[in-house]
Amino acid sequence: MTQPITLKFTDGRKNDSFLIGTFNPGEDRIDVILSEKENKRTTIELKDLCCVMMKGKTEIPRELKHEEIEEVETLDGERYQVFIPKNNVHKRGFLGVPVKKSSPYNLIFFTIGGVRARRRDRSLGEILKESGYVSDAEIDKVLIEQKRLRNLRIGEIIAENNRLSQETVDNAIQSVMKKNIHGKQVRVGELLISAGLVTREQVQRALESQEAGKKKRIGTLLIENGDITEEQLLMALAAKFRMKFVNLMDIVPSQAALNVLSLAMIDRLQVMPLEADDKSIVVATSDPTDHTISEILRFNTNRKVELVAATSDQITSATEKYFHRVEESMDELLEGMNQGHIDIEEDLEDSQINESDSQVIKFVNGILINAYQNRASDIHLEPRSGARGTLQVRYRIDGDCRIEHQIPSAFKRAVISRIKIMANLDIAERRKPQSGKIVLRMDRKKIEYRLETTPTVGDQEDAVLRILSSSRPFTLNEMGFSNKNLTKFRDIITKPYGIILCVGPTGSGKTTSLHSALHHLNKPDRKIWTAEDPVEITQEGLRQVQVNPKIGFSFQEALRSFLRADPDIIMIGEMRDEETAKIAIEASLTGHLVLSTLHTNSAPETVVRLIEMGMDPYNFADALLGVLAQRLTRKLCNHCKESYHPEKQVYDELVSAYGEENYANDELKTYSENFFLMKRMGCKTCDKTGYLGRMAIHELLTATEPIKVAIKQGKSMEKIRTIAIEDGMRTLRMDGIHKVIEGHTDIDQVYRVCV
């Protein structure tokens, strides 16, 4: 069976052919007869085609008539108005149905590599209004302004720029024209120069202003009026041109992508490469309307180009971070770096310090101070292999790693050695991991850095510093608990005996939560012991112990010692093994309140995991007071977040994820004209990310009677979770959705940290 088709090739060729068999969009090639006379079967690779056009009478399905029209431009410059059916986008391309009934084709398959641009057949103003960024009145206002700028005469611009009345300018022009006895046509600017009202430079500036005004687009005028931000404009343009809008703060470009484009081309096109392989490259641009960018990149890289949208500030910042700083000297890196006075608790070093050593010392001090001042929780120093490989410095801020510096290769080993010296480690030992700590004092504040060095490939050595600044514990009210969870948690921690567990991955704030509980319980009539590794938060009134497994002083030994030291409350930093868990449960059954942490994913999973570790189900059920699972999610910046009215579909998805019955039972907000969520925007305070700080989301399982019975009967995790939810527990995801509805964060951040 053959079907008449037209093939459009990426090199501009066009061929009327016949398709053999059925067209399969998932295949890499098609079989055709290129010439009816020769009747010779030929295989064509889809990567060599712009599109495959199926001949036949155009019939637009009823379901497509309400779909949005798209304009697809192929590499050969042709443009097609088509409907794109849903579920017809494939790995190799997508199908389109021509809009015009007079078209000789009933279906067109556009290949991914053959498309230059896609754009929705809607104006930018309509998209901005649909997104809720602007009103009809604001659009009408800029349209009037745009028309005025396009029709603005040079005399009017000169009058405005030089604070002259229009009457003065008109009179000067008339006066000079009367003296023009030859009747030659003279430009207005020349007339005003002759009249002595302006200089030639002022006329030139007015001409440039006139030309710029004629080119001003609606989006630019809306930004100038303060109606929208650049980010909102780019999001609308990305929607119009079917591009992804990305936040470069959340993306680390691949080294392969950075190697493809030269710095000169990146500066000229104002783009940022993000991902690349042998056949394609993904590049961020702040000008989605300029399709010459993709053409230039395609020509210079010989790759398929996918453009994504990002703000110009983020592209500039990323370029500085990943390109310019690589070439900076140590002196340039030190410029602008805070060199505030600090005292470092370390052994005195040899006073013979040369200039290079001094630079390294200043730079390391600057990293330690800047990371702390930028609210970083960790500092990552990652040397790249090779003689010219740089030392990359990344800060983890609000849970995300960000590249801050690229240190020249000549200093990378010296920087790592300096940090090891400050932590009293063996700088000659580079074959195995080492652990240590650095303590410094700045502005009467003590800051501790826990250091871990790890040998990596290429005879390199990575270093990671966890920042442990001595600070006051949070109160329970500051921990971000929902009202229901706060009431339940306060209730269980005031019990005279039993065990409370706080669970979650590393860095989820477990220790902070336990110290908040201890702060609530810390009274003169109670003896509280804590065993921690390391002691991160100190409190007056607690007897805090630093365990040291290297000398045999483990959590088990500390716990045994506590039980002989007349405790009321015991906090164990982490239950790392079966023996510690058993001792802790026994202690909770003999009249002590025990708090500890565990590395599990959820509260119900914790219960099952401890039983599988060998805990007696009956003892554990009697001892358990509750399990608090938690995660940290990024908070929306309070300085720039904005409210918006979401579509009904967004609301329905939130309700579905929460559970319709539980959503109704918890009396959460219902959908109406007054239902608003908050979205991130970006400002100087949050470094254009839209997020500032983190907050906890919780899952609190309390040991109710049905839960105790389920534990003793050895019920599965799923069954225990069902019982707990019926008893009032809300999962991590449900608590996160609750905080989205309250406007503290957005759903993307919730889904990043929990399923």
Listed residue (398, 411, 313, 316) closest to 366, CA to CA: 411
pLDDT for 131 beyond 80? no
Cβ pair 617, 492 in contact under 8 A: no
| Least confident segment among 134-143, 261-270, 524-533, 704-713 | 134-143
CA distance readout (Å), 672 to 646, 647, 667? 10, 10, 14
154-163, 183-192, 258-267, 703-712: range with lowest mean pLDDT: 183-192
pLDDT tens for each residue of 500-543: 999 999 888 898 899 999 999 999 899 999 998 878 788 888 99
What are the chain's domains?
2-121 (no CATH), 125-224 (no CATH), 230-322 (3.30.300.160), 328-469 (3.30.450.90), 476-753 (3.40.50.300)
Where residue 29 falls among pLDDT bands split at 50, 70, 90? confident
Residue with more model confidence, 118 or 175: 118
| Residue 666 pLDDT exceeds 70 | yes
Nearby residues of 408 by Cβ (< 8 Å), 6 or more positions away: 328, 329, 330, 390, 391
In this predicted structure, what is the pLDDT of residue 416?
92
Which of 90-99, 317-326, 592-601 is the least confident region?
A: 317-326
pLDDT of residue 448: 86
Secondary structure of 610-656 as H, E, C letters: HHHCCCCHHHHHHHEEEEEEEEEEEEECCCCCEEECCCHHHHHHHHH
Greater pLDDT, 46 or 330: 46
Q: Residues near 27 by Cβ (< 8 Å), separated by ≥ 6?
A: 46, 92
Q: What is the pLDDT of residues 30-84, one digit of tens each?
A: 888 887 666 778 888 888 899 999 888 767 666 665 567 888 888 888 888 888 7
Model pTM above 0.75: no
Residue 64: the pLDDT is: 60
- pLDDT computed for residue 123 by the predictor: 74
**What are residue 284's phi and psi, to 5 degrees?**
-90, 140
CB contact at 8 A, 9 and 50: yes
- Residue 241 and residue 294 in contact, taking contact as beta carbons nearer than 8 Å: no
Model pLDDT, residue 208: 67
465 versus 550: which is more confidently predicted? 465
pLDDT digit string (tens) for 716-754? 999 999 999 999 999 999 999 999 999 999 998 998 888
pLDDT of residue 518: 93
Q: Residue 692, SS3?
A: strand
User: Quick one: which of 469, 746, 516, 515 has its CA closest to 634?
Assistant: 746
pLDDT score for 689: 80
Which pLDDT does position 381 carry in this prediction? 93
pLDDT-derived band at 199 (thresholds 50, 70, 90) equals confident
- Concatenate the DSSP letters of all residues of 476-501 into one string: GGGTT--HHHHHHHHHHHTSSSEEEE
Least confident span in 214-218, 376-380, 682-686, 709-713: 214-218
What is the model's pLDDT at position 736? 94
Residue 364 near residue 334 (C-beta atoms within 8 A): no
| Under 8 Å between Cβ of 489 and 481 | yes
Report the alpha-carbon distance of residue 600 to residue 232 in Å, rounded.
Answer: 40
Q: Token pair of 517, please?
A: 């509980």
The answer for residues whose C-beta is within 8 angstroms of residue 659's C-beta and 6 or more apart is: 734
Cβ neighbours around 345 below 10 Å, total: 13
Supply the pLDDT for residue 378.
92
Lowest mean pLDDT segment, chosen from 290-299, 419-428, 658-667, 690-699: 290-299
The whole-number pLDDT of residue 532 equals: 86
Q: What percent of the chain has pLDDT over 90?
A: 26
